[in-house]
Structure 1
């Protein structure tokens, strides 16, 4: 599914006009609901009606889930709500042909948001919603339906009722996020993608060390691409006055351990599995080795959430084993000076993460592993196609890293708003010029949309 930016910004304009004309503040969420429904219908076609049926199912289930007589009924409802996601994963992973008119767009995020709503009601954290329109907006809200982040109902429902407004602050913060996301997408991600596609699509020319270089480039690309879309959609949402969660730590690519990495990567998905899978089951897995098994199982589920395949099962297991190994060996490195731990940790993490990125990206796991570990191909021949992009990317990536480091834990729009006026406008103009001069217009979609 291709995200059409022209269509997206057209709907953004319609939303602004609609909110401007609709003066009743507490019911402005109807404008966003109508906008999201029309947008989804325009791209999902007949699957739109499947989504409505799913929304009705979850809404009705929420009203009765507290009163269910036993666990069998509760698990039956949960399984029923999972059915569209399971069909999507199993059916499409099998590579069977299907009419695009029935392709569910954003089903992973819709399903997980719907399930978190039911889980929170069952736990007593949330009362069932009585307004179906408000609940439907939670499931289908345009800025996060394609690529997240995941949200809990109580976090956004209050904003839908109270925060929707058009003002200078919302416009300014939204513009900053969209501009920053466009820079990362068209300037960094698309140039990195040239390297990735060149290497992984030509197995004959690019072998050995180039497979590893491709993994390194993909590791950086995935951050720039995924986070850029999150920034853009956060900016669109901020324009309406709705603040979405951040899904990435600013410098997550510079993590010093795998545990540190996962604390800042696709945060809302990891928190979902932590809160609704790992923590509830941990009461039954009390010993250390049982807890380790539960962690492996959690990461396996995160892996197969991406795709039901052997490579993602292996990828999930390797992530869990990596963290467990780090926990065991960490005491042996306590004597390393603090001023060396950070830089050495970053090099260590990127080295192994690039290998896991090969597994994540390759379409031929066995062939890529055979080529990667064929040490006769580990010379580094000069290749201008790859080297040229790295030459372009390096100073631009340093620029992004500098901004991320300066921002620290702040969201980019919050950091930029703290700068003086002349510095802010220098920042805006610089990004616009870089996008115009160095950007690569492309129809390549966000990599994570496929999941």
Structure 2
């Protein structure tokens, strides 16, 4: 709180006021006056206004800002996660799933819990509050937490930051035609390793105190065979939030009950606008929803016997169209993207030669990560490390530390694309 107050006073001011409004509204919801609408409207309204303000200011772009540098004292970091957690708290009280918090500081701990504030995952009040009451530090929790922190640092510094440099080089090159998909492909893997590494890191910090944060990504989600499988394992808590607090809330009404696909499309459009209020994100959400609906209509999601050929074909199919959507996500000017794609096919070999060593390191480290993911199966990575023999585990820790020191990227600032949301 002190750090936020010093470097981002507007963030601290809003969080304190927002926490007060949420606490007060939570104790008023059961009365006859429609406090639920007023409370949610106030929180969501401020989020919309702030996101509109961000869309008007072109110079705010966290992708090219040093994470450890000045991100703007008047910027509110973690606003979306704060508001969504506050809304889920109010709606759960309205549905009588939980009772209002008996202490303002207990609610504020939930809303301002550092490991979830800046990059999620989203959580229900009942889930975290029960763990807060039993928080403690043990030898096991400290060990598991440090494993997750090490894993997150490895994924971010060795993979995400290298992918970021390659992505920016390709984006600024004279690439054209079908090769433009390579930008989207690299960005897709960059955003996975960047975002998931932050989740690993903050899960580790929380785990030290015996507080388990939910997983936000399924292992190997990057090798999904269709869009339905992908969304089941990507930014899980955000999708669950829209499912529980928007889709299920609206499907109760007769109008939407007869138009489930239209409601599903609207849900994905809202997920797009969650990233920012612009035509770029709205189009991304619209196309994401259409993709899911088409798969449902074509019964692509039905369980069938998956052979090696069909599995690899599914992975290629998903990565191909996923790269197209990624291009829409990262290019705010659709006409500019169209001009690049419609140009003559051109692969900037000079960029690839410049990143030759970088690409070699990326391929080797990605294979290493994927092997760990395959072997871990249903276990979280810290739990999987705990199943390895002690001497092997020590070699693994030394290897990861060595990889970070030898291949980690520390120069040029640390890109943190998803913190902008």
**Normalised TM-score (structure 2):** 0.92
Cα separation, 2, equivalents of 1:173 and 1:403: 16
What residue is the counterpart of 1:130 in the other structure?
102
What residue is the counterpart of 2:345 in the other structure?
377
Cα separation, 2, equivalents of 1:289 and 1:196: 43
What residue is the counterpart of 1:306 in the other structure?
275
Q: Does the alignment pair 1:81 with 2:43?
A: yes
Residues 38 and 66 of structure 1, relative CA distance in 2, 3 Å threshold: same
**For 1:404-439, what per-residue CA distance to the aligned partner results, in whole angstroms no more than 9, with x for missing partners?**
111122211011111111221121111111111111
How far the C-alpha of 1:286 sits from its partner, in A, is 6.9
What residue is the counterpart of 1:139 in the other structure?
111
What residue is the counterpart of 1:447 in the other structure?
417
**What are the residue-to-residue correspondences of 1:320-359 with 2, within 5 Å?**
320-330=289-299, 338-359=307-328
2:12 to 31, 39, 48: 48
Cα separation, 2, equivalents of 1:343 and 1:331: 15
How far the C-alpha of 1:387 sits from its partner, in A, is 4.2
What residue is the counterpart of 1:273 in the other structure?
242
What residue is the counterpart of 1:24 in the other structure?
none
The question of whether the paired residues in 2 share the 8 Å contact of 1:174 and 1:237 is answered with yes
Cα separation, 2, equivalents of 1:365 and 1:412: 39
Cα separation, 2, equivalents of 1:126 and 1:289: 31
How far the C-alpha of 1:236 sits from its partner, in A, is 0.8
What residue is the counterpart of 2:2 in the other structure?
38
The question of whether the paired residues in 1 share the 8 Å contact of 2:77 and 2:420 is answered with no
The question of whether the paired residues in 2 share the 8 Å contact of 1:51 and 1:104 is answered with no
What residue is the counterpart of 1:9 in the other structure?
none
The question of whether the paired residues in 1 share the 8 Å contact of 2:154 and 2:404 is answered with yes
What residue is the counterpart of 2:52 in the other structure?
90
1:437 to 406, 413, 421: 406
**For 1:145-203, what per-residue CA distance to the aligned partner results, in whole angstroms no more than 9, with x for missing partners?**
100000100000111111x212211110011000100110000011111111012234x
Residues 68 and 81 of structure 1, relative CA distance in 2, 3 Å threshold: farther
Give the stretch that moved more between structures: 359-368 or 144-153.
359-368
Cα separation, 2, equivalents of 1:370 and 1:97: 23
Cα separation, 2, equivalents of 1:332 and 1:349: 13
How far the C-alpha of 1:104 sits from its partner, in A, is 1.8
How far the C-alpha of 1:259 sits from its partner, in A, is 0.7
The question of whether the paired residues in 1 share the 8 Å contact of 2:295 and 2:301 is answered with no
2:136 to 165, 168, 175: 165
Cα separation, 2, equivalents of 1:106 and 1:333: 37
Residues 131 and 212 of structure 1, relative CA distance in 2, 3 Å threshold: same
How far the C-alpha of 1:344 sits from its partner, in A, is 1.5
Cα separation, 2, equivalents of 1:39 and 1:240: 21
Stretches of structure 1 that go unaligned for 5 or more consecutive residues are 1-36
How far the C-alpha of 1:214 sits from its partner, in A, is 1.0
The question of whether the paired residues in 2 share the 8 Å contact of 1:181 and 1:229 is answered with yes
The question of whether the paired residues in 2 share the 8 Å contact of 1:190 and 1:440 is answered with yes
How far the C-alpha of 1:334 sits from its partner, in A, is 8.3
Higher-RCO chain (CA-CA 8 Å, sequence separation at least 6)? 2
Cα separation, 1, equivalents of 2:291 and 2:127: 33
Residues 377 and 41 of structure 1, relative CA distance in 2, 3 Å threshold: same
How far the C-alpha of 1:38 sits from its partner, in A, is 2.0
Cα separation, 2, equivalents of 1:181 and 1:337: 32
Cα separation, 2, equivalents of 1:404 and 1:39: 35
Cα separation, 2, equivalents of 1:153 and 1:332: 32
**CA-atom RMSD, angstroms?**
2.2
Residues 249 and 332 of structure 1, relative CA distance in 2, 3 Å threshold: closer
Give the stretch that moved more between structures: 277-286 or 394-403.
277-286
**Normalised TM-score (structure 1):** 0.86
1:195 to 166, 178, 181: 166
What residue is the counterpart of 1:14 in the other structure?
none
Q: Does the alignment pair 1:212 with 2:190?
A: no
1:60 to 24, 30, 34: 24
